[in-house]
Amino acid sequence: MAFFTTPEGKRYEADSVSVRQLFEIWRLKKALGAKINGSFVSFDKILTEDTEIIPISADMEEGLDILRHSTAHLLAHAVLRLYPEAKFGIGPSIKDGFYYDIRFPKPISDEDLPKIEAEMRRIAQEKIPFIREELPKVEAIKFFTERGEDLKVEMIQNIDEGEVLSIYKAGDFADLCRGPHVPHTGSCKFFKLLSLAGAYWHGDEKNEMLTRIYGTAFGSEDELKEHLRRLEEAKARDHRKLGRELGMFTFLKESPGFPFFLPNGMAVMNKLIEFWRVEHAKRDYVEIKTPMILDRALWLRSGHWDHYKDNMYFTTIDDAPFAIKPMNCPGGILVYKNDIHSYRELPMRVAELGFVHRHERTGALHGLLRVRAFTQDDAHIYCTPEQIKDEIKAIMSLSNYIYKDVFGFNYYIELSTRPEDSMGDPALWDLAEEKLKEALEETGTPFKLNPGDGAFYGPKIDFHLEDCIGRTWQCGTIQLDFQMPEKFEMTYIGADGAEHRPVMIHRAVLGSLERFMGILIENYAGAFPFWIAPVQLRLLQVSSNFADYTMKLKKELQAKGLRIEVDERDEKLGKKIRDAQLQKVPYMLIIGQKEVDSGTVSVRDRSKGDIGSMDMETLLTHLGGEFNPIKN
């Protein structure tokens, strides 16, 4: 006899039993999966020895992942019933949902999604069990060849010989899959298909284009409804739509993936840069500017040629090969090596608003959030090993001020460790990882471990911002680098008169300024705070009779450094107010005969409406009360 138990104290005694039978006996109706000895197991797993079983439900991250993966199978099952000639690629769970890449016999459109979704619900009502089978590679190839699934066969052919493969079946649908899955299709109750997209097979533009169907799934109807509400809110906040409407930026066919900034967008960009410069000057950073094009030999030496060349652009000058920089660090190193440095100069904090180019696949481009050229608010700090933790703590303090105090974001931190394609001495990697971890622990900063996701030259701390509707965005980073100083033979003269190797800290706070602007547009829904709004005040004259007074006010306000627009159109006042509201202008100053006679303006606040009549001195005092981190 064997004893089967859960951490909550449920117990069953038998010679053997399946996980599915146990959960039925224990009436664990919400269980979507099971974990034994730290590993997920199939519901068909037969247990014969004393075992502690951890039930997994949809209110756990692991359970939600299982549910979404199973719903992806449900989607493919429905497509097979509706389109028997369809062929299937991959269908993983992803953040907030799932997708499946499919070759359809003829193109489908968004109008077909409700039909597929309805078939999914019919299959869910049938409560078809997910059954796991294991096959050797040869038999798995035969199985999918007989079903005409050439994409699956190609996947299996790339798997190592001798490996036993698992297949999950649900009725007449079968998929190559490690699992695990929910007990049956009826466990997938709360789902929604969201959109279609094109996806190259294996993400390679040389391969055929498949149809990718995106969807989402949750453990309850309320969670699904809330997620769909957030998606609708996100659509209304889409920075690409708002960027066009607010005259901030555009993309043109003559330069795909490279944004064109319009006057309002440049106003925001310039304020971001002004704020950035003020804060860095306070913290003893110096600013440099390095060339955009550098000799290929530099990129070979830095390791970018071996680790990053697929994301780089190249050119030839005087028959010699050059590369357009994807990162600023090699140029910054050349600046450091331009002089001999003493330990008395360290730490050296060197900042650069570097314009970099990175080749992104066409399908990955997404407004300002994923572009091929962007401005990085970079900095490199050169220090001694003893100074590392204090410098990291100072960067964390700066980041917290900018993210939380200035822009109002909550955030969480990930510590990313050595990746498979890392370069350099593993012992130096261990030391770098330990220094980052100590800085986080000593400041009491919670963090998640993200194994294997460091840069190829060093481990890193990443900052993930959470916006007002709960989405997260990776922005800032702190990367600790012992490798580049070695490769470039960087030195400083120590107190002992000998040469020593500095440590290099790479860091960005805003990250890509273009991306950060896109995040701000969506977070504020285009209604920027007063200090950074592209247009801070719009003067609305009731008629052209008051043009002289209006222009006099405009010049006075501009002299105070305020960004002003005048609505000179021959339109009714109500329309001018509505248009200013749509343009998210923080303040509207209304000018009519009464205002001219009294030397005042009637002031409307974007969110509060009419806040009364003010003379110039009162207005400036009121505006001076607005938060402005550049002045504070």
Residue 224 near residue 387, CB atoms below 8 Å: no
**Set 358, 370, 538, 604: catalytic member:** 358
- 349 belongs to the catalytic site: no
Identify the CA nearest to 229 among candidates 48, 457, 470, 22. 470
d(CA 531, CA 631): 10
**Set 87, 184, 296, 460: catalytic member:** 460
Tokens coding 379: 């900095």
Q: What is the DSSP string of 374-431?
A: EEEEEEEEEE-GGGHHHHHHHHHHHHHIIIIIIT--EEEEEEE---TT--S-HHHHHH
- 506 belongs to the catalytic site: yes
**Set 177, 188, 329, 383: catalytic member:** 329
**Set 103, 271, 304, 506: catalytic member:** 506
- 515 belongs to the catalytic site: no
Write down the H helix ranges in 504-572.
513-524, 547-559
Q: Within 10 Å of residue 469's Cβ, how many Cβ atoms?
A: 15
Q: Is residue 348 packed enough to be buried (19+ CB in 10 Å), middle (13-18) or exposed (0-12)? A: middle
- 615 belongs to the catalytic site: no
DSSP state of 563: -
d(CA 615, CA 591): 12
Write down the H helix ranges in 525-605.
547-559, 573-582, 593-598
**Set 101, 112, 378, 481: catalytic member:** 378
d(CA 362, CA 315): 21
Contacts of 470 (CB under 8 A, 6+ apart): 230
- 558 belongs to the catalytic site: no
Contacts of 529 (CB under 8 A, 6+ apart): 586, 626, 627
**Set 103, 376, 377, 418: catalytic member:** 376
- 380 belongs to the catalytic site: yes
**Set 380, 418, 538, 576: catalytic member:** 380
Q: Within 10 Å of residue 567's Cβ, how many Cβ atoms?
A: 19
Residue 381, beta-bridge partner list: 349, 505
- 555 belongs to the catalytic site: no
Catalytic residues: 329, 358, 376, 378, 380, 460, 506
